[in-house]
Amino acid sequence: MLCPCRVLEALWELLLQAILQALGTNLDVSADFYSRFHFTLEALVTFFHAEGQGLPMENLRDGSYKRLEEELRLHKCSTRECIEQYYLDKLKQRSLEQNRCGRLSVRCYYEAAEQRLVVEVLHAADLLPLDPNGLSDPFVIVELGPPHLFPLVHSQRTQVKSRTLHPVYDELFYFSVPAEACRRRGACVLFTVMDHDWLSTNDFAGEAALGLGSIGGIVRPQAGGSSRAGQPVTLHLRRPRAQVRSTLRMLEGRTNREAQEFVKRLRELEKFMEADP
């Protein structure tokens, strides 16, 4: 004979999966609709808990529920909030295997007199071997985000370093941006390491994001007018995780202009990554 709790657990999981599937096919609905939907979900939790006679709260709010709650939270966001969340998720990522994709050493600071952000790409170490010879031909793409904070800023990239897993770049990049934009929610510099392929498309090797709100010259002016007092920062490279991909999928499903332009910009960046340096 089946345990009533097992039956309830199976029904609860089926219900959550059905809701998740429905959300995946109905992305362009008003944020208010999803606010009401979230209220309904909480009512279902109360129903299945049945004042302690049904499923325990910790079981109801685990697994698929957490995924569904995150999906509903994103659906309730405006497009701009969703774009900001895309970059916040990148900033919050922590690699579970910190040495798998290698490390990147950078230094960032803000020159208030010139009103520009300076990004130094110094060197990388222990990159993934993506070529048949056990090495790579890595280069680094540098971009600022979210794009609505830096609408006139274009991505830049380093030179290709051939046949190495420990490239030294020592390259400077300048971005003319106001300090106020660098202090905004989600403002960051995103580093994407690619392996240049001479005969086909380039290969993704890893990425890392650095928040701009705490870099030298943004929080407080550098002592004596020097903007290069900051120490290099070592960033662990990783691959985008589920939350980042979920946010991007959400934006892909929206039909408003800002969401479509953001997705188009990402697609253009992908082509930029694949182009010969």
Nearest to 255 by CA among 70, 26, 44: 26
- The whole-number pLDDT of residue 120 equals 97
d(C-alpha 155, C-alpha 175), whole Å: 9
Task: Output the six-digit token pair for 70.
Answer: 């995150």
Report residue 236 CA to chain centroid gap.
Answer: 14
Burial 228-246 (b: 16+ CB within 10 A, else e): eebeeeebbbbbbeebbeb
Task: Give the CA distances from residue 44 to residues 12, 102, 210, in Å, rounded to whole numbers and listed in that order.
Answer: 9, 45, 40
- The whole-number pLDDT of residue 225 equals 47
pTM for this entry = 0.74
Task: Report the DSSP beta bridge partners of residue 210.
Answer: 189
Task: Centre a 10 Å sphere on the Cβ of residue 163 and count the other Cβ atoms it contains.
Answer: 12
d(C-alpha 217, C-alpha 226), whole Å: 9
Adjacency order of strands within the sheet including 116-125:
168-176, 116-125, 103-111, 233-236
- The whole-number pLDDT of residue 25 equals 65
Nearest to 82 by CA among 131, 33, 145, 139: 145
- The whole-number pLDDT of residue 8 equals 86
* Domains of the chain, start order: 4-76 (no CATH), 91-274 (2.60.40.150)
Task: Output the six-digit token pair for 229.
Answer: 């007092």
- The whole-number pLDDT of residue 99 equals 64
DSSP letter, residue 224: G
Report residue 275 CA to chain centroid gap.
Answer: 23
pLDDT string in tens for the chain (277-residue length): 446 678 888 888 898 888 877 776 655 556 667 777 778 888 999 999 888 888 889 888 888 888 788 777 777 788 888 899 889 988 887 645 556 899 999 999 999 999 999 999 999 999 999 999 999 999 999 999 999 999 999 999 999 999 999 999 999 999 999 999 999 989 999 999 999 987 778 899 999 999 999 899 987 655 544 445 578 999 999 987 766 777 887 788 788 888 888 888 777 766 655 554 4
Residue with structure tokens 């709650």? 69
Residues in the chain: 277
Burial 80-109 (b: 16+ CB within 10 A, else e): bebbbbbbbbbbebebeeeeebbbbbbbbb
- The whole-number pLDDT of residue 151 equals 92
